[in-house]
Structures are given as C-alpha cells and as structure tokens.
C-alpha cells in the first residue's frame, strides 16, 4: 500500500522519530562525503503552483544525492486542473514516476491527487498545511537543544499553514505550543480542537492566545512566518496594520529568556514580521532550519519511496 504525506496526521510518532533519525544519519554521511544512493533508478515529479526556493532545491538536490532524479513542473508547464484534470495527472504520473511532490493552493487538490495516484504524494505546502517544514523545524530543535519533547515553542503571527502544521506536530510529539495571533487571524478551530485532543495523549500544552508577550514568556523557541502568505498578497496592506504588534523584534525578545532561539520558515520580510536585527542576530537559527530541509526531505523520500522503508 502506498503512503502519502499530506499532513502530519499521516505519520505515527514512531515514524516521525525514524524520519528524524534517518535525517541525522544522512546529514552526517553527507558531511563526511559518504555517498548514499539508496533511491537509484527512482524518480520524483514536483508540481509547483506557487513559487519556491527551499522546497524545490531541497527536494531536487535531495533526489540527486539519493541517486534518483527529480522532474520539476511549473504550473505553466502542466496547468493541473485546467489543461488536464487532477485525477488524470495523478493517473498519468503514476505511470512514469515513483513519487509526486505537490505545492498548490487548495489542500483538497493535493488530497485529490493522492486519491488518484498509485504512488506516494508529498505535500510541499498547501493553503492548509506545510508538514515538511515542521518536520525540519522539529529536527532543528532537537539538534540545537538535544530534545524536542517538553520544549516550549511560541508561534507569533498569522494562524496559517505553518501554524496548522505546528499544531499537528507539537500536539503529537509532546512539544508545548502557544500561538499568539490577532483574533481574526487565529488558526482554524477544527485543527485547534483536534490538536487539543491529541495533546491529551502526548502531554503537550497547547494554547491559542492574542498577546505575543505572554506567548514568548519562558519560551525556548520563538517561531514566526510572513504576515501575508502566497496568494494573500492583495491583503498585505491591511495585514501590515493588524500584525504590527506581532513583529518579532528586540523588544519582544526581551520578554523571553536570554537563551531563547528564533526560527522562521523563510522567506522572511525584514521590517515586517521580524526585524533584521533579530533574524540576522545571534539567537537566530533560520538558516540551520533551512539547511535541514534538505536532510529531512531526503529522509521523507527514503521513507516513502523505498518499498522496504528504512528496514534495509
Ligand atoms: N520555507 C519554504 O517552504 O520555502 P520555499 O517557499 O522557498 O520553498
Ligand atoms: N505561510 C507561508 C509559508 C511559506 C513557506 C506561505 O504559505 O506563503
């Protein structure tokens, strides 16, 4: 049975731990110059309806380093859903490829693609979630702090796709998460409700509040993201005003601990959601997180595209 990664609900805690461990191994091997072509002969199709730097480069280079090949298809190339239906793209690509990565707007489109494809479909970001990003974020936290369980993350800003994946990942893995967002930009109620239920099992404390200063108090990690996600550019002016009190700046850092680290999925807009002083400062680990997209992506590909999984 093929497996997909559409949201972090698709992975068990044990599988996430295996993926993180495999990412650490491949990172070490890469640094030591030890080749690991475990996906020789395998191909990945990558569909982009939105722009990308990190996701594209990390998956494409990741496939190369694993001995496979990635075909990148922009929306102009295939115009999925217009030139050809989503189910037909799913059926067609399953005849050529071993996996599909999709970045699109409606999450339902990624679900539909996965429904008709007989090969694994990986969500490279939808309007609803960004699971690969949060796996890389959690990997980075483990690397930096030696653990992720019990770590306190303060997410400050828009209750968007990244916030939704934080809710799913944190609640599953026993990470404490406080999200501070303006009242009208809080994460979706159904995702919060589910996270609260899952958190009961894992012991993570999940809170959705409005005050960023309260959120960062005692936090080990401050996490932020752009105020207007891809597709919301027309709302930027309104959002700039609403989100102004949510900027991650030196003043907000003062309300946290002296050792609190700052993360951002990137791309960043200096002077909006984060100041240059903070993102380019000594507490920022944003490029560590960005680099780790590569190592974690490779572990995801190995997990989904090798029929024998990590066993071999
Ligand atoms: N963080 C992230 O997904 O970056 P890209 O949009 O550049 O892929
Ligand atoms: N929330 C952002 C994340 C970019 C990686 C967006 O969807 O544009």
Q: Are 121 and 91 in contact (CB under 8 A)?
A: no
Do 101 and 200 lie in one domain? The reply is no
Answer yes or no: is the C-beta of 125 below 6 A from any ligand 1 atom.
Answer: yes
Q: Are 289 and 50 in contact (CB under 8 A)?
A: no
Q: Does the annotation count 232 as an active-site position?
A: no
Q: Report the pLDDT averaged over residues 83-98.
A: 98
Do 72 and 146 lie in one domain? The reply is no
The SS3 of residue 178 is: strand
Instruction: Please report whether residue 243 resides in a domain.
Output: yes
**Unique residue bearing structure tokens 């005050």:** 211
Cα separation, 208 vs 183, whole angstroms: 10
Which ligand gives the minimal distance to the CA of 126? 2
Answer yes or no: is the C-beta of 160 below 6 A from any ligand 2 atom.
Answer: yes
Do 190 and 235 lie in one domain? The reply is yes
Do 207 and 224 lie in one domain? The reply is yes
Question: What confidence score (pLDDT) does residue 307 get?
Answer: 74
Please give the C-alpha separations between residue 190 and each of 129, 201, 307, in angstroms, as whole numbers. 13, 18, 34
Copy the structure tokens of residue 133.
Answer: 């990003």
Closest C-alpha residue for ligand 2 atom 8: 229
Q: Are 202 and 179 in contact (CB under 8 A)?
A: no
pLDDT digit string, tens, across residues 154-174: 999 999 999 999 999 999 999
Instruction: Please report whether residue 206 resides in a domain.
Output: yes
Q: Does the annotation count 103 as an active-site position?
A: yes
Radius of gyration of the chain (CA): 19
Instruction: Please report whether residue 75 resides in a domain.
Output: yes
Do 244 and 272 lie in one domain? The reply is yes
Do 139 and 276 lie in one domain? The reply is yes
Question: What confidence score (pLDDT) does residue 161 get?
Answer: 98
Q: Report the pLDDT averaged over residues 132-152.
A: 98
Instruction: Please report whether residue 311 resides in a domain.
Output: no
Range of the domain at 122: 8-130+293-305
Answer yes or no: is the C-beta of 284 below 6 A from any ligand 1 atom.
Answer: no
Cα separation, 179 vs 157, whole angstroms: 8
pLDDT digit string, tens, across residues 170-220: 999 999 999 999 999 999 999 999 999 999 999 999 999 999 999 999 999
Answer yes or no: is the C-beta of 165 below 6 A from any ligand 1 atom.
Answer: no
- State the pLDDT confidence band at 112, using cuts at 50, 70 and 90: very high
Do 212 and 101 lie in one domain? The reply is no
Cα separation, 47 vs 29, whole angstroms: 29
Compute the distance from residue 209 Cα to the ligand 2 centre, in Å: 21
Work out how many domains the chain is built from and give that number: 2
Q: Rounded to an integer, what is the distance from CA 83 to the centroid of its chain?
A: 29
> Which atom belonging to ligand 2 lies closest to the Cα atom of 162?
1
Do 13 and 101 lie in one domain? The reply is yes
Between strands 43-48 and 99-103, the pairing is parallel
Catalytic choice (133, 142, 247, 297): 133
> Which atom belonging to ligand 2 lies closest to the Cα atom of 158?
1
> Which atom belonging to ligand 2 lies closest to the Cα atom of 160?
1
Do 139 and 71 lie in one domain? The reply is no
DSSP state of 261: E
Do 264 and 137 lie in one domain? The reply is yes
- State the pLDDT confidence band at 310, using cuts at 50, 70 and 90: confident
- State the pLDDT confidence band at 308, using cuts at 50, 70 and 90: confident
In degrees and rounded to multiples of 5, residue 97 shows phi and psi of: -120, 170
CATH number, domain containing residue 47? 3.40.50.1370
Copy the structure tokens of residue 208.
Answer: 């959705």
């Amino acid at each position: 049975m093929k497996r997909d990664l559409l949201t972090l609900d698709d992975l068990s805690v044990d599988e996430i731990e295996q993926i993180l461990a495999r990412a650490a191994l491949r990172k070490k091997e890469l640094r030591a110059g030890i080749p690991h072509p475990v996906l020789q002969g395998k191909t990945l199709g990558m569909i982009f309806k939105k722009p990308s730097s990190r996701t594209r480069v990390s998956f494409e280079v990741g496939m190369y380093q694993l001995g496979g090949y990635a075909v990148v298809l922009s929306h102009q190339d295939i115009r999925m859903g217009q030139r050809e239906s989503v189910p037909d793209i799913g059926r067609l690509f399953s005849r050529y490829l071993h996996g599909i990565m999709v970045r699109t707007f409606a999450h339902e489109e990624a679900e539909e693609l996965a429904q008709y494809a007989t090969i694994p479909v990986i969500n490279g970001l939808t309007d609803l979630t960004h699971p690969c990003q949060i796996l890389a974020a959690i990997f980075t936290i483990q690397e930096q702090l030696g653990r992720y369980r019990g770590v306190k993350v303060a997410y400050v800003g828009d209750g968007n796709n990244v916030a939704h994946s934080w809710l799913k990942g944190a609640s599953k893995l026993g990470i404490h998460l406080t999200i501070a967002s303006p009242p009208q930009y809080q994460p979706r109620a159904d995702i919060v409700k589910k996270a609260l239920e899952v958190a009961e099992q894992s012991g993570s404390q999940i809170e959705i509040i409005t005050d960023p200063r309260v959120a960062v108090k005692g936090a080990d990690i401050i996490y932020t993201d752009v105020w207007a996600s891809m597709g919301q550019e027309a709302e930027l002016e309104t959002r700039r005003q609403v989100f102004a009190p949510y900027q991650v700046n030196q003043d907000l850092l003062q309300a946290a601990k002296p050792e609190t680290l700052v993360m951002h999925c990137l791309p960043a807009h200096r002077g909006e959601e984060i100041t240059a002083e903070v993102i380019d400062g000594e507490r920022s680990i944003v490029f560590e997180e960005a680099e780790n997209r590569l190592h974690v992506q490779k572990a995801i590909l190995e997990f989904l595209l090798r029929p024998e999984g990590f066993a071999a």
